[in-house]
Amino acid sequence: MLVKRMYARRGYTGSRHVLDEHNRVTLTATDKGEVVGTVTIGIDSELGLMADELFKDILDEHRARGARLCECTKLAFDLSERSRVPLANVFHLALIYARDLYDCTDVVIEINPRHRRFYERMLGFRQQGELKINPRVNAPAYLMHLSLDYVSEQVERLGGTFDTPAGSAERSLYPYFFSPREERGIINRLLRMDEHHISS
């Protein structure tokens, strides 16, 4: 599969699954057969999003302006330097999946306060609303928001440049995202797979 080949080019592999009954799909990054991280992407629907439990008022404001929301949950990665490549790759794949297969325009994520700066600095997320206690994990959580237009702009400017002087000088994760050319190949492949799934 093209996605796996592009992942493997950087020393990792990825697996993709179809949406479950809750409109969620989980992507997994593995290194030599060992899982190094996962992310679940949820697509907004009549079922809503998990973040609605705490932040429905904010999400409804986005919906009212016409946003098509998705959310990242169960993002399980070691947020150290050595995890930058698999984290960037699997996160990029998740956003491609949401944006190009399900027409999402915005992504939200609930995160522990100690991770807020990471998501702001590395991906451009911005805090929305106040700190709340998430009963699902019995821990404090911020709601963070990111426009997928912003992601597209960063990929066009920085994607695939991690081994260049410009990419090395950039502090965000975007140089570790797939290049624009790689991204277009992934999108085309996923769209063909989706068409085949619908017709079969």
Domain total of the chain = 1
| Confidence tier at 165 by pLDDT (50, 70, 90) | very high
Please check whether residue 199 lies inside any domain of the structure.
Answer: no
- Where in the sequence is the domain holding 86, given as residue range(s)? 2-182
The answer to whether the beta carbons of residues 82 and 12 sit under 8 Å apart is no
Predicted pLDDT of residue 45: 93
* CATH number of the domain bearing residue 37: 3.40.630.30
Please check whether residue 189 lies inside any domain of the structure.
Answer: no
Please check whether residue 188 lies inside any domain of the structure.
Answer: no
Please check whether residue 151 lies inside any domain of the structure.
Answer: yes
Please check whether residue 163 lies inside any domain of the structure.
Answer: yes
Please check whether residue 166 lies inside any domain of the structure.
Answer: yes
Q: How many CA atoms lie within 13 A of 164 on its CB side?
A: 11
The answer to which of 1-10, 118-127, 153-162 has the lowest mean pLDDT is 1-10
The answer to whether the beta carbons of residues 111 and 119 sit under 8 Å apart is yes
Question: Against a cut of 0.85, is the pTM above it?
Answer: no
What 3-state DSSP class applies to 63? helix
The answer to whether the beta carbons of residues 126 and 168 sit under 8 Å apart is no
Please check whether residue 127 lies inside any domain of the structure.
Answer: yes
Predicted pLDDT of residue 68: 98
